[in-house]
């Protein structure tokens, strides 16, 4: 049985969990600028928690392709304020901080975050593994090449699934060696990957079970959906639900989404299917 220790609370992943996305940024690809005030942050947190989110993922730095860099101090201010605002009202909420900077992660955990979600998997900050190990929180290790600004051009693979698996396996070993106990992997859909490469990874997602740790899937409203369907990200909920369902069938333990209610429904239907005796 796979579990995560979040501030002493054991989260059982034998039933997949949903992570709601709260971006406190002005420029994220789908929800940028929507949750920038205290009232908006609380409204979004309350909605997601009431709809069944196990985790809330707070991001203060947009990682959309070509995103501009922001200062460490500004990112820290954004995420720490949001964490404090949420925990003041929802003290039991399990918050993940979405950052590739170890100092931001440290300040966020000190403010009450229970998990670190690093889109760079440790490649953009040499102190990240040591920092997370000292903080004793679960770590989401994602695959990416380059930075959000440069990653779109870094998608040359011989076999994307095999290379991503190999890279994640190597990073897991490094993170374990530093003392990180709870690790979740994220293949990084759309990060240094073309649409076709993202679909190839999804098609082979069950192979990531060989890493023997939980797999997080984050495809919510991404370009692999809306460019395929020739629609906008605003119209990509149905496509997101379809790919989330496929992800569950192929072994995903956590769905990271903008739309919690629909993802929770996916999990409930998946569990009903799984528990039927033939």
Q: Which residue has the tokens 């930075």?
A: 147
pLDDT at 36 over 80: no
Domain boundaries, the chain: 3-272
Structural tokens at position 58: 């707070």
Neighbours of 158 (CB within 10 A): 6
Query: What residues are labeled active site?
Result: 222, 256
Q: What architecture is domain 3-272?
A: Alpha-Beta Barrel (3.20)
Across 86-228, the runs of DSSP E, i.e. the strands, are 94-98, 115-118, 139-142, 183-186, 216-217
pTM value?
Answer: 0.94
Poorest-confidence range of 14-28, 38-52, 169-183? 14-28
Which is more confident, 2 or 175? 175
Q: What is the DSSP letter of 217?
A: E
pLDDT in tens, 100-127: 999 999 999 999 999 999 999 999 999 9
Which pLDDT band, with edges at 50, 70 and 90, does 32 fall under?
Answer: very low
pLDDT in tens, 72-99: 999 999 999 999 999 999 999 999 999 9
Q: Is 41 helix (H, G, I), strand (E, B) or coil?
A: helix
- Mean pLDDT, the chain, integer: 93
Orientation of helix 160-178 relative to helix 195-203, angle to 10°: 70
């Amino acid at each position: 049985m796979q579990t995560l220790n979040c501030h002493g609370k054991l989260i059982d992943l034998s039933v997949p969990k949903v992570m709601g996305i709260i971006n406190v940024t002005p420029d994220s690809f789908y929800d940028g600028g929507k949750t920038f005030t205290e009232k908006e942050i609380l409204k979004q947190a309350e909605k997601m928690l009431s709809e069944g989110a196990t985790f809330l993922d707070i991001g203060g730095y947009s990682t959309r392709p070509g995103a501009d860099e922001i200062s460490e101090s500004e990112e820290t201010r954004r995420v720490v304020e949001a964490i404090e605002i949420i925990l003041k009202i929802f003290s039991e909420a399990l918050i993940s901080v979405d950052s590739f900077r170890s100092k931001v992660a440290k300040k966020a955990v000190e403010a009450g975050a229970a998990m670190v979600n690093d889109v760079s998997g440790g490649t953009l900050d040499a102190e990240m593994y040591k920092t997370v190990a000292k903080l004793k929180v679960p770590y989401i290790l994602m695959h990416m090449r380059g930075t959000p600004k440069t990653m779109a051009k870094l998608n040359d693979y011989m076999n994307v699934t095999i290379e991503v698996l190999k890279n994640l396996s190597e990073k897991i070993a490094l993170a374990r060696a530093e003392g990180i106990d709870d690790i979740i992997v994220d293949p990084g859909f759309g990060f240094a990957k073309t649409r076709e490469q993202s679909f190839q990874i999804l098609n082979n997602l069950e192979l990531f079970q060989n890493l023997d740790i939980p797999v997080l899937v984050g495809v919510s409203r991404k370009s692999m959906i809306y460019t395929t369907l020739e629609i906008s990200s605003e119209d990509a909920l149905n496509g997101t639900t379809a790919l989330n369902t496929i992800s569950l069938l192929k072994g995903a333990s956590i769905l990271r989404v903008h739309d919690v209610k629909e993802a929770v429904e996916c999990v409930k239907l998946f569990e009903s299917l799984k528990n039927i005796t033939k």
